Structure 1
Amino acid sequence: MGAEHAHDWRLGLASALEWWRDAGVETLQEDEPRDWLARPLAAPDAAPDKVAAASPPLEILPTTLEDFVAWRLGPAAPESGWHTPLIAPSGPAHPRLVIFSDMPCAEDSETLMGGPAGILLDRMLAAIGLDRESVYLGSLAVARPLTGRVPAEQEGRLIQLARHHLTLLRPERLLLFGKAAERLLDGPADGSGDVNLFGCTTRAVATYHPRFLLERPAAKSEAWKHLLLLSRGTE
């Protein structure tokens, strides 16, 4: 019996590909003919209803102070999922001074600054001839994060809401406690010039939070200078 001829499929495949190449076929072919010189068709415009569905709806915030505060403490508030108490701002609708901090203190449960920081706040206000009944006390975040720090991914949203809050208050004087609250302004909050950001002319000063002053008593002298800048003309 003669020896069987070995068949190498690789050689057969290479031979077939070489034959097609010599025939001028160098690309994959389709069942339907194609005009390779034709210009590509432009994608059709999206239907108006689909465009509207893709665009986020324009948010309309409450336009009265009472309604806005109720909204900030409701389920739509960014802090509603933080699993910590939502604490309402307090004070008259036309205060002599508006104070905004970054968030409630760790010991706060029903009112802002109800613990040792609040005692120091009362003394600071008394030093410039004011008390809690004459000021409006609010916060950038209406709840305290478990980390004790405003989440970076939500800070921009909270600043937007706080600015709307201040626009409803139209403060003549604004005291900001801490760096996070200071970001409510576009520029420095050193009392050197008035701010026109909330629909009125506002004198704004930023200083240390009372809880920081309790930890660093040496900073109280600088905080006192900030209060003097703010208190000019309050009488």
Structure 2
Amino acid sequence: MNALTTPNALDLAAAMEWWRDAGVDMDFTDDATVWLSDEDAAAPPANAPTGHANGSDSKPTQHSEKAPEQIPDVARVDLIGDSPPATLAEFHTFWLEASGLDAIGPRGRIAPRGTAGAETMVLVCDPEERDRDTLLSGQQGELLGRMFAAMGIAEDTAYFASALPRHTPMADTAAIAKGGMDAVTALHIQLVAPKRVIALGTNILPFLGHDRTQDFTSLREINHRSVNTPLLISEGLDAMMSMPRLKARFWRRWIEWSAGK
């Protein structure tokens, strides 16, 4: 007679971790259902109270909205000047040569690529660390290329841009945007005039005129001079490479967003 065996806690934990590493953390039906909890949805402590002192059940505590981000006082600079670039070609020259766009200066900046009127504009926070002549020429660009193939987007119909002209680790994007780079980003998007924008990286929000604490999933449009451009914001390519489950999350958002276009 075979003995009845029951998986122990270590076996279950190992199995769940295997699925998590594989990027499978949701059960997809008509609507996504959380399967493995996110880090920001951790279970309450075992000794957490479950009711009022008189023994009656209490309703779950309603979390208040996130407080607005406190941005240090930053002197705003008119980085564009009195004669802003009037064409995308002029903007490319401005991007590579204008002083004040970063603390280092023009040398080593990475140019955007693509043409005006692109079907899709992809905006990332900054170039990859090893980019030299071409934006997104490393592993993040490879991931984006695979994503485009799955999304049915031809790379030659897309425009690739960054909000910062060079790789800038740990950038205080709120302060940099407040200092004037948000206006540069707005002008860039205006001159590209894309059919839609995909912005990757939650730290990119300040360059689009939003607080980093804002729920980026609720932002669906960019309004520039009375022109509403469809907008999809998701986690950055570096985050997707580190956490495969974010790829599935992006795919779900892409399907819902593109279905409405």
Give the alignment partner of residue 199 of structure 2, picking from 176, 196, 201: 176
Give the alignment partner of residue 149 of structure 1, picking from 171, 177, 186: 171
Structure 2 vs 1, CA of residues 148 and 231 (structure 1 numbering), >3 Å: closer, same or farther?
same
2:108 corresponds in structure 1 to 85
2:229 corresponds in structure 1 to 202
Partners of 2:171 and 2:220 in 1: CA distance: 29
Pairing of 1:205-220 with structure 2 (within 5 A): 205-220=232-247
Give the alignment partner of residue 190 of structure 1, picking from 193, 203, 217: 217
Structure 2 vs 1, CA of residues 86 and 192 (structure 1 numbering), >3 Å: closer, same or farther?
closer
Partners of 2:145 and 2:240 in 1: CA distance: 13
* 1:190 positional shift: 3.3
1:229 corresponds in structure 2 to 256
Number of corresponding residues: 178
8 A Cα contact 1:106 1:144, kept in partner = yes
Report whether the alignment pairs 1:126 with 2:132.
Answer: no
Structure 2 vs 1, CA of residues 199 and 117 (structure 1 numbering), >3 Å: closer, same or farther?
same
Q: Which has the higher contact order (CA 8 A, sep 6+)?
A: 2
Structure 2 vs 1, CA of residues 83 and 203 (structure 1 numbering), >3 Å: closer, same or farther?
closer
Partners of 2:198 and 2:110 in 1: CA distance: 19
Gaps of 5+ in 1: 1-55
Partners of 2:151 and 2:204 in 1: CA distance: 21
Structure 2 vs 1, CA of residues 121 and 141 (structure 1 numbering), >3 Å: closer, same or farther?
same
Amino acid in the other structure paired with 1:169: V
Structure with max Cα Rg: 1
* 1:94 positional shift: 1.3
TM-score in terms of structure 2 length: 0.60
8 A Cα contact 2:173 2:206, kept in partner = no
1:103 corresponds in structure 2 to 126
Partners of 2:187 and 2:245 in 1: CA distance: 35
Identity of aligned residues (%): 22
8 A Cα contact 1:207 1:223, kept in partner = yes
8 A Cα contact 1:87 1:112, kept in partner = yes
Q: Could you list the per-position Cα deviations for residues 166-223 of structure 1 after superposition, in whole angstroms to 9, with x for gaps in the alignment? A: 1112222110011222233346653764432355221101011111111111211111
8 A Cα contact 2:88 2:192, kept in partner = yes
Pairing of 1:41-56 with structure 2 (within 5 A): none
TM-score in terms of structure 1 length: 0.66
Query: Aligned with 1:162: secondary structure?
Result: helix
8 A Cα contact 1:108 1:115, kept in partner = yes
Gaps of 5+ in 2: 1-77
Partners of 1:104 and 1:116 in 2: CA distance: 11
Partners of 1:113 and 1:190 in 2: CA distance: 24
Report whether the alignment pairs 1:113 with 2:136.
Answer: yes
